Amino acid sequence: MAFVLNGPDGRAGFMTDLGESTEELIKHMSGCQHISVEANYDVNRLFGNLKYPQTLKDRIHGRGGHLSNRQTAMMLDRLVHDNLDSIVLCHLSSENNAPHLAESEVLCQIDEEFKGEIQISKQEGPEFTHWLGQRAAEPLRWA
């Protein structure tokens, strides 16, 4: 699933459950000021997971599955531009990934080009909000 929201202060793209990156996806997501994208699994953790049968591993890793940290990093490398303010890595598997693995994979790929902020969306719930035109994320305040 992928969609772009256009507003007066810019564009925000959201991508999850992709399985692969395509040229059409890159075209539609280009120019976003904010990108939320899945970084679902670390390949070594997924294929080293003894609890998952091979068929499940193949589905997760396949075209109809999810993006690995590496796939996400490679895609973001193509989407980074001077006006990209923030990236949120989301839909991280609690079994086959860790926030530091996803973030380090992405940073190794885009660090020299990307000047914005990277956040990790954890499974426990949202930890921040980020609005187009806003320069920094704000903590959520529950009433």
> Residue 8 has what pLDDT?
87
- Provide CB contacts within 8 A for 28, sequence distance 6+: 2, 4, 13
pTM: 0.86
143 residues of the chain, pLDDT tens digit each: 999 999 888 999 999 999 999 999 999 999 999 999 999 999 999 999 999 999 999 999 999 999 999 999 999 999 999 999 999 999 999 999 999 999 999 999 998 899 999 999 877 765 555 555 555 555 555 55
Distance in angstroms (rounded) separating the CA atoms of residues 47 and 80: 29
Cβ atoms within 10 Å of 92's Cβ, excluding its own: 24
Q: Where do the structural domains in the chain lie, given as residue ranges?
A: 2-139
CB proximity list for 95: less than 8 A, separation 6 or greater? 45, 49, 51, 52
